Amino acid sequence: LRLPVTLAHTSYDVVIGTNLISRAGALLAPVLPQKKVVIITDENVAPRYLEQLEAALAETGITSRSLRVPAGEQTKCLEMYQKLTDNILEHGIERRTSIVALGGGVVGDLAGFVAATTLRGLPFVQIPTTLLSQVDSSVGGKTGINTRWGKNLLGAFHQPLCVLADVSTLATLPRRELVAGYAEIVKSGLIGDEALFAWCEEHGAAVLDQDPEALAMAVQQACAFKARVVAADEREQQKSNGRALLNLGHTFGHALEAELGYDGRLLHGEAVSIGLNLAFALSVRLGLCPRADMERVNRHLEALGMPAHIRDLSYTFHTQALMDHMQRDKKMQDGRLSFVLAHGIGQAFTTRDVPATAVREVLEADGSVA
Ligand code: NAD
Ligand code: ZN
């Protein structure tokens, strides 16, 4: 399946299907400006898929060179950015040579930032291999790295020539990573696609059992949703109801992650899963959302064994610490916080008018310690 992403100055396809890596030569030859690529990948993905990709590219005469980085969030850093760009420049890159990201969101963000900035922009292709990167980070054009001051603080918008979302690669993904990516799919449904959420209720278990058809359907729907949002608000300028909505569950989620120091004990998607529940709990607490909708969200996450509440975690969270992270994240004004809330399933909206006391109450009802 080809899903077109249409933006103001460019458009590209997200190709979703099985065994795409083994057809990468044929799929990429028509879009590459030159039959030469540098592949950036990580140490978990390389042994599984790199050889297959290089062979497939060679079939249509595309020559490739590959660079490997360690797996994990720490790789998205200035030092690794410097190592990669040094290596690329040392080998004398040409302006029309493409950078190919083969891996999850870490590789995609880092390789994308290398592509965005080297020679002021090299052509770029994404081959996302995690569920999260297939439904979220590979679509939208955001690239970047972390600094000691926080996550994703250096970055650029750089749209790819093409995205190949090969759902066959998800067969080797650890279950926890699969669950984390699935949380972002549920999020898409909750933001603005009730039919997608209803589909999740019916087929979510098959997705987490790595059923290839269910995975392909899930990726298609979530990518289509993200592509619509991104097309409407390419650079996050429509504060009211564009890309900002993609942060449903994320203000809470980021606070939980930040409190653990982003050390991998809680995956981003796991934090988002809890954050989605909290966003609905807060919406109900403020009288903006029917309780039945919150219960439906809860039931779905719990039925699949996903993290749903702060009390489910084996770490202690203190309310004030979480509040501090949210205030840093969102710049509280006059004791009020901005949030993405929901009037119901598929009806998210942004507001700047949430009293801090309501946020505290919701956190403590969920298991945070006063
Ligand atoms: P990740 O890239 O770290 O991948 C998770 C783990 O799975 C890694 O250990 C990786 O080596 C391994 N892996 C990848 N593919 C595999 C496969 N097919 N089989 C087995 N193992 C595999 O993490 P992620 O969740 O994909 O991405 C998270 C990153 O994405 C974060 O840095 C986040 O900031 C970023 N992100 C970016 C955007 C954006 O719009 N650019 C959006 C959301 C998230
Ligand atoms: Zn997210």
* pLDDT at site 282: 98
Domains of the chain: 2-172 (3.40.50.1970), 176-366 (1.20.1090.10)
C-beta of residue 277 within 8 angstroms of C-beta of residue 309? yes
Return the ligand 1 atom nearest residue 269 CA: 25
3-state class (DSSP) for residue 108: helix
Q: How far is the CA of 189 from the centre of ligand 1 (A)?
A: 21
Which residue, judged by its Cα, is nearest atom 21 of ligand 1? 173
| CA nearest to 102, candidates 136, 76, 130, 77 | 130
Token pair in block for residue 342: 């929901």
C-beta of residue 8 within 8 angstroms of C-beta of residue 111? no
Q: Which ligand is the nearest neighbour of the Cα of 247?
A: 2
Which residue, judged by its Cα, is nearest atom 40 of ligand 1? 137
Judge if the beta carbon of residue 177 lies within 6 A of ligand 1: yes
Q: Which ligand is the nearest neighbour of the Cα of 183?
A: 2
Q: For residue range 110-167, what is the model confidence (pLDDT) as tens digits? A: 999 999 999 999 999 999 999 999 999 999 999 999 999 888 999 999 999 999 999 9
Judge if the beta carbon of residue 76 lies within 6 A of ligand 1: yes
Judge if the beta carbon of residue 173 lies within 6 A of ligand 1: yes
Judge if the beta carbon of residue 142 lies within 6 A of ligand 1: yes
Q: Which ligand is the nearest neighbour of the Cα of 136?
A: 1
Tell me the best of 18, 41, 49, 109 to mutate to test the pocket of ligand 1, counting ligand atoms within 8 Å of each CB and taking the most.
109
CA distances to 32, 124, 179, 219 from 205, rounded to whole Å, are 38, 34, 10, 15
**269 CB-contact burial (10 Å; exposed 0-12 / middle 13-18 / buried 19+):** buried
Q: For residue range 84-113, what is the model confidence (pLDDT) as tens digits? A: 999 999 999 999 999 999 999 999 999 999
Query: Which residues in the chain show pLDDT less than 50?
Result: none
Count the neighbouring beta carbons within 10 Å of the beta carbon of residue 261. 9
CA distances to 280, 333, 339 from 285, rounded to whole Å, are 8, 20, 14
Q: How far is the CA of 325 from the centre of ligand 2 (A)?
A: 16
The ipTM value here is: 0.99
Write out the DSSP string of 266-321: S-HHHHHHHHHHHHHHHHHHTT-S-HHHHHHHHHHHHHTT----GGGSSS--BHHH
Judge if the beta carbon of residue 200 lies within 6 A of ligand 1: no
Chain position carrying tokens 């042994």: 47
Q: Which residues make Cβ contacts (< 8 Å) with residue 117, sequence separation at least 6?
A: 85, 156
Q: How far is the CA of 279 from the centre of ligand 2 (A)?
A: 14
* pLDDT at site 6: 86
Token pair in block for residue 92: 């004398």
* pLDDT at site 4: 86
Beta bridge partners of 100: 39, 125
**8 CB-contact burial (10 Å; exposed 0-12 / middle 13-18 / buried 19+):** exposed
| CA nearest to 20, candidates 107, 112, 127, 109 | 127
Q: Give the ranges where the chain is alpha helix by DSSP (H).
A: 24-28, 51-59, 78-90, 105-117, 131-132, 175-192, 194-208, 212-232, 250-259, 268-285, 291-303, 319-330, 356-366
Q: How far is the CA of 270 from the centre of ligand 2 (A)?
A: 10
Judge if the beta carbon of residue 184 lies within 6 A of ligand 1: no
Q: How far is the CA of 225 from the centre of ligand 1 (A)?
A: 20
Token pair in block for residue 319: 């309310």
- The C-alpha angle with vertex 143 and arms to 234 and 150, in degrees rounded to 5, equals 110
Return the ligand 1 atom nearest residue 133 CA: 26
- The C-alpha angle with vertex 63 and arms to 57 and 67, in degrees rounded to 5, equals 95
Which residue, judged by its Cα, is nearest atom 24 of ligand 1? 105
CA distances to 92, 97, 122, 126, 138 from 119, rounded to whole Å, are 11, 11, 7, 19, 22
